Structure 1
């Protein structure tokens, strides 16, 4: 059973300031609530911490973990913008909320404040915070549950029983309560959780986001918009004038049809207009642990050749030669235009080059009906 230490209502916005209010519970009320709330099951969550793991596109329950080291609270809370952008969006979203909760959050003065005039909830989620401290390990956990319109209560009378017997009978004492405005707190169907564990005097920090309902997570935290923003950032890293992101062991750059403003905009528009492409680019980091960085350009070229052979020989191929990137060996560049960006997005994913060389050719963008 989770031991809830505080409760908040949240309205998240990817473009504006979040709306958060704290519910004014006493300790005994929190203990009672803790006994009622169902803790989500974390077993069988698919770990997508390897950000180029393309199986992420097909899973509804998953987790992402980030390990950091810091020497002070300032180091943890005041990251530079560039540092933040290197993290997975799933970590960033919950981390920002976690840091917000460290501030002086206003108390919800009355239940009516979270309801609109037509009785719709203005805060679509509830956060239960749990804190654990054991020797040199401290941990904080945020559990996010949906607050639905159906949970609002207005102008009703309820009949409630109390664990007290009437005289010598077995009947329970009943009480009548009139409720003008209020809402039920969610007890199940956790959407996601965020866990921050600090270990030892060196302040090793482990952060994990667990998603139990992928669609609800995407809706609640506007993940589509966030992925679009991060996807554009990845494209910008490829064309940066200073220290651009390069691919393969042989450090080939990426040229979006010459990198003119017009061509780059075409590529960005193509990527951000498609949720699958946005997700692929948003989650790509190009670190040395990325599979594509462990592949030599010779094998990458063989994969490109195999794709061209597949288009020429297989009538069921659902993409064409003009969709396949090309390679400029003289200038050590991989050339990609807006028509080729879908195949390129697949090539940089985990183990795709090897799968292509083993005749397993699947380009999800073109496989959709």
Structure 2
């Protein structure tokens, strides 16, 4: 890695919904320094801002993206990395290779984390998948194993020259440490006056989501966001007049079933953060009324509108709230993301989530 030196390495056995196992490899500073020089810098080419307009217009997660944030930032990726960092701080040292292999010689760990810590206290974490391809099959790569007769961890590139000659060791059980194909990184800045506290970079979105069973994590996040709209205190408000959102009958289970059937809907609520930059937060209540009125008039005049009156949220002026049901949740999502589209030539109105939901 250019301008970065790995200061510690951890292996993890991550299972969503269950307690994760994290163990530190007992490598010397010299071994860590040597290994650092073999690790490729992950490419940031074509990486886009997760909360930027380009990404928000997409209905699925981009392949590569980054997130700048702090402790107020709401996103499931940050929750995952905070949990990882907490596990690393509490990790014990790997004492025996048997702890990460089962009786059939299968590797129990599925991830490895490289930490680069700077003198100013900043930390950067790099995540890699490990699996069958990392089991030792041949010489010529970095591995982790234990020398017989002593409980000291060593990391050594097999077949390399070191000091007084070639160092080659017969290994019964071991695994190679990956030097490329980083799936994600996490930068934790100690002094926030110098910039954003956190920066997350996802280099392989599919592999990241798969490794952390993101579907389950996303569902927890959607549930949290929906209930935050309806909190008694400090709930999420809309428009300049700060109107409330009322999910009729508080039927969260039915609403969530609708959301989870659509990747686009799920993404909207997972990515939602209560920012004043959102159009729905900046418009007047009268403007929102005009939008609702236009949608109803369009449905009345167009039998093939693609949505019906039940799919449109209602404004309750007495209670100063927007009423949303499981039938109108796609339109509500479109309002949150400003994705209701009116075609100028044929005056056709589209709510993309209905097309995707079908």
Fold shared by both chains (TM-score > 0.5): yes
What residue number does 1:367 align with?
A: 356
Note the C-alpha offset of 1:97: 1.3
Matched ranges for 1:1-369 at <5 A:
1=2, 2-49=4-51, 53-55=56-58, 57-67=60-70, 87-103=74-90, 105-133=91-119, 137-153=120-136, 158=139, 161-163=159-161, 177-199=169-191, 206-257=197-248, 260-261=249-250, 263-272=251-260, 274-311=262-299, 317-349=305-337, 351-352=338-339, 355-356=341-342, 361-367=350-356
On the 8 A contact 2:298/2:349 being kept in 1, the answer is: no
* Compared CA separation, residues 29 and 195, structure 1 to 2 (3 A): same
By percentage of residues, which structure has more strand?
1
Q: 1:125: Cα distance to partner?
A: 0.8
Flag the 1:13–1:295 CA change in 2: closer, same or farther, 3 A. farther
Quickly say closer, same or farther: Cα 1:190–1:56, change in 2 above 3 A.
farther
- Give the 3 Å change call, closer, same or farther, for CA 318–124 of structure 1 in structure 2: farther
Secondary structure at the aligned position of 1:55 is classed as coil
2 CA distance for matches of 1:128 and 1:344? 42
**Can you give the 5+ residue segments of structure 1 that lack an aligned partner in the other structure?**
69-82, 165-172
State how far apart, in whole Å, the 2-side matches of 1:122 and 1:60 are: 27
Question: Compared with structure 1, are the counterparts of its residues 220 and 243 closer, same or farther at alpha carbon in structure 2 (3 Å cutoff)?
Answer: same
In structure 2, runs of 5+ residues without a counterpart are 141-157
**Aligned Cα root-mean-square deviation (Å):** 3.0
Provide the rounded CA distance (Å) in 2 between the counterparts of 1:182 and 1:250: 62
Report the CA distance between 1:131 and its aligned residue: 1.4
SS in 2 for 1:190: coil
The SS at the match of 1:178 is coil
CA distance in 1: counterparts of 2:356 and 2:239, whole angstroms? 26
In the aligned structure 1, how far is the partner of 2:50 from the partner of 2:79?
A: 15
Normalising by structure 2, report the TM-score.
Answer: 0.81
Tell me how far 1:228 sits from its aligned partner.
0.9
Q: CA offset at residue 116 of structure 1? A: 2.9
